[in-house]
Amino acid sequence: MSDDRRYPYAEPAQDLLDDLMDTLLRDFKNPLSAVIGALELLQEAADDSLDDYARQLIHTAQQAAYRQNMLVEDILSTVRMEAGEMAVTLQPTAIGRLVEQCVAESAPIIAQRNLTLQTDFASDLPPARADGALLRRVIANLLENAIKSTPEGGSISIHATIAGDEVRFAVTDGGYPVPPELHEAIFDRRLRGNVAVKGARAGMGFGLAFCRLAITAMHGRIWVESAYNTGGTFCFALPTNET
């Protein structure tokens, strides 16, 4: 005989997993914030008794903590956006300025990996209608993915153009091409774990799911273009502020 009892605390397995993830990440974020704060104080207090190697170690630890914090924020934001619990404020936003900030933050690892980075922005590029903080994290994610996917000594290019009533952004890396059959799955966190992406693409998981949710929440589009032996180009388009 089948058991048709229903328990008041029963929830779908995915909802339980999301709730558990949210709780764990919130608990994880508190000590991580303490680590970041301690490293910032240590850097400020560093005197001439520290040699260049010790200062570089502090800087390396800071960058690792910042990246880990961004990952935690991305996962939390993804869960909130999927649940419709995250507010998005749209206003005129200059993409070029956000790109400059993200490139400056990534400069040490770009130099360490001996990468060449080129930027090309249309001279008449208008502001996009976007949530500035959210868009900055999208750009940072796409740039970090490009850095991770590009072998040492390779090149990355960033383009921003105007197309009709949209501002379009694209970052092209020197990594493995993304097979056409994975162009959608690579942005889906539930499908992403079930697909195999050759080489360094295997590390591009939750960040891309966050990017798609964020761009969609700002009424935009995001996609990947990848031809044979040409790496990957990750693109998004957002309405201009005049739209």
Q: List the domain boundaries for the chain.
A: 13-82, 91-239
Amino acid at 227: A
Q: What is the pLDDT of residues 7-37, one digit of tens each?
A: 343 445 555 555 655 566 666 667 777 777 8
Whole-angstrom Cα Rg for the chain? 20
Provide the pLDDT for residue 73: 75
In angstroms, the CA 125 to CA 98 distance is 13
Confidence of residue 167 (pLDDT cuts 50, 70, 90): very high
Choice among 25-39, 145-159, 171-185, 191-205 with the minimum mean pLDDT: 191-205
74 pLDDT higher than 80: no
Alpha-carbon distance 185 to 243, whole Å?
A: 30
Q: Are strands 155-163 and 116-121 parallel, antiparallel or unpaired?
A: parallel
- pLDDT: which is higher, 77 or 196: 77
CATH class of residue range 91-239: alpha beta
Average pLDDT over residues 168-195: 79
Calculate mean pLDDT across residues 182-188.
Answer: 83
On whether the CB atoms of residues 214 and 138 are closer than 8 A, the answer is: yes
Give me the chain's average pLDDT, please.
79
**For residue 239, what are the β-bridge partners?**
166
Least confident of 20-24, 45-49, 54-58: 20-24
% of the chain residues with pLDDT over 70: 77
Would you give the distance in Å from CA 208 to the centre of its chain?
6
**CA distances to 157, 205, 217 from 77, in Å:** 27, 14, 12
Give mean pLDDT, residues 95-112: 90
Where in the chain does DSSP place strands (E)? 91-93, 116-121, 128-130, 155-163, 166-172, 221-225, 233-239
Closest CA to 200 of 225, 168, 174: 174
Structure-model confidence comparison of residues 220 and 24, the more confident one: 220
Averaged pLDDT for residues 233-243: 88
The predicted pLDDT at position 71 comes to 74
202: Cβ–Cβ under 8 A, 6 or more apart, which residues? 196
pLDDT attached to residue 112: 86
**Can you give the pLDDT at residue 19?**
61
Of all residues in the chain, what percent carry a pLDDT higher than 90? 37
Phi, psi of 225 (to 5 degrees): -120, 135
- Which strands, in side-by-side order, build the sheet including 233-239? 116-121, 155-163, 166-172, 233-239, 221-225
Nearby residues of 46 by Cβ (< 8 Å), 6 or more positions away = 54, 55, 58
Which residues lie below 8 Å from residue 176, measured CB to CB, with a gap of 6+? Answer: 149, 197, 198, 199, 200, 201, 231, 232
Q: Strands, E, within 29-165: which ranges?
A: 91-93, 116-121, 128-130, 155-163
pLDDT at 80 over 90: no
Per-residue pLDDT at 140 exceeds 60: yes
- pLDDT band for position 118 (50/70/90)? very high
Q: Which of 62, 57, 23 is nearest to 41 (CA)?
A: 62
Task: Specify the pLDDT at position 10.
Answer: 40
pTM: 0.73
3-class state of residue 239 by DSSP: strand
pLDDT of residue 11: 47
Nearby residues of 63 by Cβ (< 8 Å), 6 or more positions away: 108, 109
